[in-house]
Amino acid sequence: MTKTVLGVLCLIAISSILSDNLDSNAYAQNDPNLIPWDENRPPQFGDFQGVPNTFPDNYTGDRDDFRAFTWSIPSNNWMWQITQNQPCMYTITAFDANAYFDKTSSWIKSEYASDTYLLNHEQKHFDITEIHSRKINEIVANEFLGKQFACPSLSGQSQNDAINQKISQDLQPVFDQISQEMSQMNIDYDIQTNHSVDPQMQKEWDDYIANSLDYYKPYKDKQEIQLTQETEQSTLTCPADYPYIHSDGQCWNVPEGSQTESLLYENKQYGFSINYPSTWQKNEILERDDDKPNRITVVTFTHPSQTALYMVGFAENDLTYSGLDDQQILNKMKKEIVNDCSECQDIEFVTTETLTHTNGYKMYYAALTTTMVTDEGTLTPLLGYGFIPDGNDLWLIAFVFFSQDFEQILDEATLMGESFTIFDYKGTQQTGSDIDELNEKGLDLLHNDKYEDAISIFDEIIDKDPNYIYAYNNKGLALEKLEKYDEALESFDKALEIDPTFVVTLYNKGLLLGDLERYREAIPYLDRALAIEPDDVNVLDEKGQALASLGSHKEALEYFDKALAIDPDNTIVLFDK
């Protein structure tokens, strides 16, 4: 849910895909300070609970010595549905504008608290808001509902947020228009009635407002359409940028039969194939990475506009991610991407996730936006990386889009990715049960106070797999027990080199630094752990102890209280507090 304040318009954007619809009025219905417009329940004297002569921050009208002030809010809610995937299309299926009376911002001076004539005048201000809410419903129902729109480029956002933002932008002119009309009507109403002092004009306005409410009564409630598979094609209208309806009922930006031909690229040396659009330029470059010579870029495909590049690479016997679980692989993948993209600035990851390829391959995927300063100017591309483990080997898929309007390019690139086929897929890299068993053996020795023997086991693991993060963490614990504190800290640091977000090691290093009374050094590691796991009671308790040791008792209590809110019966935290 997003919330944007536009003048006196409070815009609530609620959406969902297909049938997973949400209650878009929940925010207002659950706010006791907001009263929905109801012809049978207009605001009463007791509803004006604001402080006289105070006004909301976004109120832009006169601030004269009024006898009363009414603040009411049109709330606009919508739902949308994806109606087509290739290319992506959506339609707004429901829209509902409602008026709400804000009790805490509306007021009547005490000397007028029983003036029913004045109360009627203020009630009509609320009616004016309702009239214009219905006007919004009318415009959206006639001009937006049931029409298809091309899904926007993500630009660092989720699809949900991107479509909500696009709808908000498309509806903004409507909101601006109605906001201006509503403001002008309120001004005219006050001037012509002299703020209710002129009874004749007040009567004329009462009638006019009542007639307007009746005229827009068909748009009082939520406006919506029901989409079914049988009626979608006949109900929906294609947008101007995708005007052609094909026989599949989908909207396209080219006439049917003129879609780009797909070509097959097959590489028997490395054992894979991929389909690519005939308009893209193929370049089989076989270029090795200077820093990682086992990694090779096999082939690239360039869009004819030169604004997109798609790459397939291969790394033989690549153990970079060996011994790591899915989350550790994603974390290390992010770190590798940041380190390798030396020209990237202001990197922001859009997503990192584990996916299953259409051919069943396990893929680790990351997408990010960044800023690149070049001789041609500043660029803000979208980059995507996919790693597919294949036994001890690694497939590397990457793309970069420089265009700010790349929906069609993304569609083509998506089809390329889905067609990628490995001839002799061996599956994901295995961590190796022997290493896991060794780690368990080392932990048993550690728990039985056989620290030197445990360290030998952890060293054996590191020799077999230098990226097995648990070995460094557990070795650090054993060294700490032997009071070899500097070596323990060094072992913790090696673990964090593999995964800077590994909460267990962040906590262990912060704990050791605290035990060494190096509290100021400990706190940054505890903060990093809490940024990832904000509800970790042990970390909250240790942060509280560190703050207390530095004399920051008030802050320390806050962390103890946070821990106890999660685990009220934790005797350690209770004792430390």
Upstream peptide bond of 304 is cis (omega within 30 degrees of 0): no
Q: Provide the pLDDT for residue 429.
A: 45
Q: Name residue 308's amino acid.
A: A
Residue whose C-alpha is closest to residue 331's, from 462, 492, 498: 498
Tokens for 370, please give them.
């960044």
Buried residues in 158-180 as b, exposed as e (16+ CB within 10 A): eeebbbbbbbbeebeebbeebbe
Q: Name residue 269's amino acid.
A: Q
The Cα–Cα gap between 535 and 566 comes to 7
The DSSP code for 381 is -
- Total H helices, total E strands in the chain: 16, 23
Q: Provide the pLDDT for residue 278.
A: 83
The Cα–Cα gap between 488 and 480 comes to 5
User: Is the CB of residue 14 less than 8 Å from the CB of residue 1?
Assistant: yes
Q: Provide the pLDDT for residue 248.
A: 53
CA 145 to chain centre: 26
- 251's enclosing H/E stretch is strand 251-252
Residue with tokens 């550690």, as numbered in its chain: 446
Q: Provide the pLDDT for residue 206.
A: 93
Q: Distance between the two ends of the chain, CA-based, in angstroms?
A: 38
Q: How far is CA 410 from CA 5, 368, 551, in A?
A: 33, 14, 55
Q: Which three-class secondary structure state does DSSP give residue 100?
A: strand
- 196's enclosing H/E stretch is none
The dihedrals phi and psi of 184, each to the nearest 5 degrees, come to -65, -40
pLDDT per residue, tens digit, the chain (577 aa), is 222 122 222 221 222 222 222 233 334 446 788 999 999 999 999 999 999 988 888 777 777 778 999 998 888 889 888 877 656 778 898 999 999 999 999 999 999 989 999 999 999 999 999 999 999 999 999 888 888 887 877 666 677 888 888 899 889 999 989 988 998 998 889 889 988 889 999 999 999 999 999 999 999 988 887 765 444 444 556 666 666 666 555 666 556 555 567 889 999 889 999 999 887 888 888 888 877 778 899 999 988 777 788 999 998 887 777 767 778 788 888 888 887 777 788 888 888 888 888 788 888 998 888 888 776 667 788 888 999 988 878 899 998 887 655 666 777 888 888 889 998 877 654 444 577 788 888 888 888 889 999 999 999 988 888 888 888 999 999 999 999 999 999 999 998 888 887 888 998 999 999 999 998 898 888 988 888 788 888 889 999 998 989 888 888 899 999 888 888 888 888 888 8
User: Is the CB of residue 461 less than 8 Å from the CB of residue 471?
Assistant: yes
Q: Which three-class secondary structure state does DSSP give residue 500?
A: coil
The Cα–Cα gap between 158 and 160 comes to 5
User: Is the CB of residue 437 less than 8 Å from the CB of residue 470?
Assistant: no
Q: How far is CA 358 from CA 225, 361, 400, 419, 420, in A?
A: 34, 7, 21, 8, 9
Residue whose C-alpha is closest to residue 94's, from 175, 153, 174, 167: 167
Residue whose C-alpha is closest to residue 471's, from 446, 449, 450: 446
Residue whose C-alpha is closest to residue 189's, from 209, 175, 210, 212: 209
User: Is the CB of residue 263 less than 8 Å from the CB of residue 278?
Assistant: yes
Please give the CATH topology (third level) of the domain spanning 262-422. Protein Transport Mog1p; Chain A (3.40.1000)
Residue whose C-alpha is closest to residue 462's, from 491, 484, 483, 485: 491
List, as own/partner pairs, every contact residues 240-246 make where C-beta atoms lie below 8 angstroms and the sequence separation is at least 24, other chains included. 241/150, 242/87, 242/89, 242/148, 242/150
The Cα–Cα gap between 384 and 132 comes to 45
Q: Provide the pLDDT for residue 27.
A: 40
User: Is the CB of residue 445 less than 8 Å from the CB of residue 455?
Assistant: no
Q: Provide the pLDDT for residue 321.
A: 76
The Cα–Cα gap between 472 and 468 comes to 7
Q: Where are the domains of the chain?
A: 2-224, 262-422, 433-576
Tokens for 78, please give them.
């919508």
User: Is the CB of residue 398 less than 8 Å from the CB of residue 313?
Assistant: yes
The dihedrals phi and psi of 176, each to the nearest 5 degrees, come to -65, -45
Buried residues in 336-354 as b, exposed as e (16+ CB within 10 A): bbeeeeeebeeeebbebee
Please give the CATH topology (third level) of the domain spanning 433-576. 1.25.40
Residue with tokens 């207390």, as numbered in its chain: 548
Tokens for 211, please give them.
């007639």
How, if at all, do strands 377-379 and 89-102 pair? unpaired
- 526's enclosing H/E stretch is helix 519-532
Write the CB contacts of 343 (distance below 8 Å, at least 6 apart in sequence): 372, 373, 374
